[in-house]
Structure 1
Amino acid sequence: MKTLFHLTLAVVAAALLPLGQSLAAEDCLPCHREKTPAAVRQWEESAHAGARVGCAACHGVDHKAIEAGEAPVDADVCGKCHRKALLEHRTSRHGMGLHAGWGCTRNLPERDPAECRFCHRKGSEEPVSQVQCARFLKQSSEMGELGCNRCHQVENNCGSCHGNHFTDLAIVRDPASCAKCHMGPDHPQWEMWQTSQHGTLNGSMGPAVGPDCQRCHMPEGSHDVSKGLTAPPSGKPYPEEELPGRRAEMLRICTGCHAPAFARQELARGDAVRAQSLALVREAEAIVWDLADHGLLDPMPEERPPHPLRGEVLVTDGQMLYEDTSRIERLLFKMKKFDFAKTIKGAYHQNPAYTHWYGNAELKMDLVDIRAEASRLRERGEGGKASEKKVAIPRGKKDEEALEALKRKFERGAISPEEYARRKALLLDAFLGEGKALP
């Protein structure tokens, strides 16, 4: 079987490459045995070498372009032979890696021009993706490369998981290969799995008893790591028309070990935890926006460095920052990005400690802190004991500010036209001295 695989790979490679390129390793090896001996050794031990797929098959023949970093071995290069894997990869969440965590660096003071290749085809000004990540754009070039790209380049770099010259599948069948990206405060799936019943059974009795990342998320060797998933990291469910098919796929995976009724019950519990957790986040987000409507954030968006994508406005969606914000926004970021993710991912990964103590408990304590900080800011804004302004705000001025805040809520879609009209009427009655107040 292994010989047949090598022969097939050689035939495909030979058909795709100009005459002589598949054997170009003979030209490269004498020099690279001295300059990059580890790379040569890895290639010699790989299936590529056995199938006579030489250096030029992947790197090309323009040595100057290779040295200048202008001939990357990206997913398109691998896809010439591994077409099925590439197509599966591109339909998955991994196929959106750069889309989710990248941004055009042309306006950064110390940008690396080589980064342009992630979003632009050679010789073209048209970007591959229009998506920008505000958090990436706030980082230095070094932090962006080490702290962002090393994970998010999975979209376009097969070596992110497989390694650059290895072809041994033992590397990508090891759950630790997932850990370098899928760990930490924002998506600790590896830690959740490792300390769950699945992970402990895997460690003590092997993958035949305890399923690993690959068995559940890459069944039958698929490169579509999104099989069966019903929501992205934000927790917002996929479109309604997609949900039945995705849930059926996940149930198919689960029932390889579990009874159908048990699998449906556990997934439904995860769905409920996700909905309950999302309600807590939305309550906290509404508090922050209400403070912004009344001009009570400290500092307000116009009083701090502008958001790299939106400017001097409040941002609490997926482009929310953890720097150059107010304290209450920082609390909201922790709640949305870290603790919400731990709660719902802990539930779906069958890890009680992450679901409750690392997740749910932190979510609810975040909300306590956000409510308390909101009370402090409102008290200060009203000239209370915590205020830097010791002069109380006149009643008429307060009514005018309340009307303006209500208008801002309506303009950003937080309340319906009917609710806006009702509450505005109550405010105007109060303003005219009829004794009514906003409920």
Structure 2
Amino acid sequence: MKSYNLFLLLFFVSGFIYSRNNKCIECHYSTTPQIVSDWKLSKHAENDIDCSVCHGTDHMSANDVSKVKLPTPETCAQCHDTQVNQFKKGKHSIAWAAMKAMPTAHMQPMVLMEGLKGCGGCHKVGLKTEEEIKKLKNDGSVFGHSSCDVCHTRHTFSKKEAQQPQACQTCHQGFDHPQWEMYSGSKHGVRYLLKQNGTLSENVSAPTCQTCHMPDGNHEVRTAWGFLAVKLPMPEDKQWAEDRATILKALGVLDPQGKPTQLLEVVKAADVARLTQEDWEKERNKMINVCSKCHSENYVRAELKKGDEIIKSADRLMAEAINIVADLYKDGIIEKPQNYSYSYPMLLTFHDAPTAIEQKLFVMFLEHRMRTFQGTFHNNPDYALWYGWSEMQRDLTEIKELAHQMRLNKSR
């Protein structure tokens, strides 16, 4: 009798779910048909994961649309807890906080930030607090909070789509991080695109972004050098140590005397840079293991070492340029902005830097230095040289000339 009652209960519950899901499909076929067709193609549909699992049961008609529940990473974690936990440990999860931490983020049009049409359009992948989500909803930005759907586009949530390098293209291109351009023009990228269009066999080795940065599907997406290619401890090479200290001062992490500032604690909390040799080596060894599946380990270590060396060379140029601008503050040639804590240029002020020479310094750092080392690590010679190193040399020449003219004008 107990088994019979349990059967009846399951029958009625499944009938209710089926009926409700049919009602969702019936209504949305006429209002948003592509959502339904995408869902029908998904693994969710195959496994009877219906609308209510992600969107709740409060929304039942056009009159109560405001009651629909919008997914967050916790929604996905009901079934995909391993991937969500990995994601929370990685750099993508802190993307929203990193954007908000930029010195002049508040000076940008909100449509670009919270409106998700500029920086926020990609940085929305980052985790947000309940208060932030509530504020975004109140400001009209109701969507874009789930994070996972940035790569696994709703409502198919396709794993296969997210495994393609094009899934990374929307965000990883352009001014400060043209990884798509560098990858797709490299031997790795060309080979994979030829594999996609059928020119090469499906069985040839051709790495994607995910092959190197998400080995075995790990959603942490971390690198040894981090986004800005700065790390601790300082190198043994005296000149490089001085140059890196100069860059850290211009990032606000060290004060003019080389002592840590409060911002260092923010960097530690966000885990955006490797702050111990052990952490750096851990990520470097992951990459060596990945690359060694196609290349000899000796070759891999030698190639990665070249990336380290180009960072060292780029830092020499960058430090010289930073010190030129810092001396202009020191000598009263240009006025230090009131929002700067120290008499050092702030590299992360971006286009809000107040003078042309400070603008040039920001471009040198965030566009050209980035392309120099990223182009090297992504095996794209053109980006490493002509879009990176060569541009840094030209930036430094222009900064020297601007500083010279500013001093002449001041002395007249």
For the aligned pair, the TM-score class normalised by the smaller chain equals: 0.7 to 0.9
Following superposition, the deviation at residue 192 of structure 1 comes to 0.5
Rounded to whole Å, the distance in 2 between the matches of 1:38 and 1:182 is 27
- Give the match for residue 292 of structure 2: 255
| Aligned ranges 1:257-406 → 2 under 5 Å | 257-297=294-334, 300-302=336-338, 310=339, 316-317=345-346, 319-383=348-412
Q: 1:29 to 1:70 in 2, by over 3 A?
A: closer
- Give the match for residue 218 of structure 2: 222
> In the alignment, does 2:113 pair up with 1:141?
no
Structure 1 runs not aligned, ≥5 long: 1-13, 104-131, 303-309, 384-439
Deviations 1:352-393 (A, max 9, x none): 11111110000111011111111111111222xxxxxxxxxx
- Give the match for residue 150 of structure 1: 121
Check the 8 A contact 1:301/1:313 in 2, yes or no: no
Rounded to whole Å, the distance in 1 between the matches of 2:17 and 2:97 is 33
Q: 1:62 to 1:184 in 2, by over 3 A?
A: same
Q: 1:47 to 1:66 in 2, by over 3 A?
A: farther
Check the 8 A contact 2:225/2:280 in 1, yes or no: no
Check the 8 A contact 1:281/1:336 in 2, yes or no: yes
Q: 1:66 to 1:183 in 2, by over 3 A?
A: farther
> In the alignment, does 2:36 pair up with 1:40?
yes
Amino acid at match of 1:230: A
Amino acid at match of 1:193: Y
Moved more, 236-245 or 189-198: 236-245
Q: In the alignment, which of 228, 236, 239 is matched to residue 234 of structure 1?
A: 228
By relative contact order (CA 8 Å, sep 6+), the higher-ranking structure is 2
Rounded to whole Å, the distance in 2 between the matches of 1:294 and 1:258 is 53
Deviations 1:310-341 (A, max 9, x none): 46876744632312511011000100100000
Q: 1:369 to 1:50 in 2, by over 3 A?
A: same
Following superposition, the deviation at residue 283 of structure 1 comes to 1.5
Check the 8 A contact 1:234/1:318 in 2, yes or no: no
Deviations 1:102-161 (A, max 9, x none): x3xxxxxxxxxxxxxxxxxxxxxxxxxxxx223432221222221112201112411111
Q: 1:314 to 1:178 in 2, by over 3 A?
A: farther
Amino acid at match of 2:355: S
Deviations 1:257-289 (A, max 9, x none): 000100000000100101111121121111111
Q: 1:190 to 1:359 in 2, by over 3 A?
A: same
Rounded to whole Å, the distance in 2 between the matches of 1:255 and 1:23 is 53
Following superposition, the deviation at residue 19 of structure 1 comes to 11
Q: In the alignment, which of 39, 59, 63 is matched to residue 63 of structure 1?
A: 59
Report the 3-state secondary structure (helix = DSSP H, G, I; strand = E; otherwise coil) of the residue aligned with 2:154: coil
Rounded to whole Å, the distance in 2 between the matches of 1:348 and 1:31 is 50
Amino acid at match of 1:236: V
Structure 2 runs not aligned, ≥5 long: 1-9, 128-146, 195-199, 232-273
Rounded to whole Å, the distance in 2 between the matches of 1:23 and 1:88 is 36
Check the 8 A contact 1:185/1:338 in 2, yes or no: yes
Following superposition, the deviation at residue 244 of structure 1 comes to 1.9
What is the aligned-residue RMSD (CA, Å)? 2.6
Report the 3-state secondary structure (helix = DSSP H, G, I; strand = E; otherwise coil) of the residue aligned with 1:142: coil
Check the 8 A contact 1:23/1:54 in 2, yes or no: no
Rounded to whole Å, the distance in 2 between the matches of 1:255 and 1:200 is 20
Amino acid at match of 1:326: T
Q: 1:336 to 1:61 in 2, by over 3 A?
A: same
Rounded to whole Å, the distance in 2 between the matches of 1:147 and 1:355 is 26
Check the 8 A contact 1:23/1:52 in 2, yes or no: no
Report the 3-state secondary structure (helix = DSSP H, G, I; strand = E; otherwise coil) of the residue aligned with 1:143: coil
Rounded to whole Å, the distance in 2 between the matches of 1:69 and 1:150 is 25
Rounded to whole Å, the distance in 1 between the matches of 2:388 and 2:403 is 22
Following superposition, the deviation at residue 215 of structure 1 comes to 1.1
Amino acid at match of 2:372: T
Q: Name which one, 1 or 2, has greater alpha-carbon Rg.
A: 1
- Give the match for residue 191 of structure 2: 201
| Aligned ranges 1:13-92 → 2 under 5 Å | 24-63=20-59, 67-68=65-66, 71-92=69-90
Check the 8 A contact 2:191/2:206 in 1, yes or no: yes
Rounded to whole Å, the distance in 1 between the matches of 2:103 and 2:295 is 42
Amino acid at match of 1:253: V
Check the 8 A contact 2:95/2:125 in 1, yes or no: yes
Report the 3-state secondary structure (helix = DSSP H, G, I; strand = E; otherwise coil) of the residue aligned with 1:234: coil
Check the 8 A contact 1:193/1:199 in 2, yes or no: yes
Amino acid at match of 1:379: L
TM-score using structure 2 length: 0.74
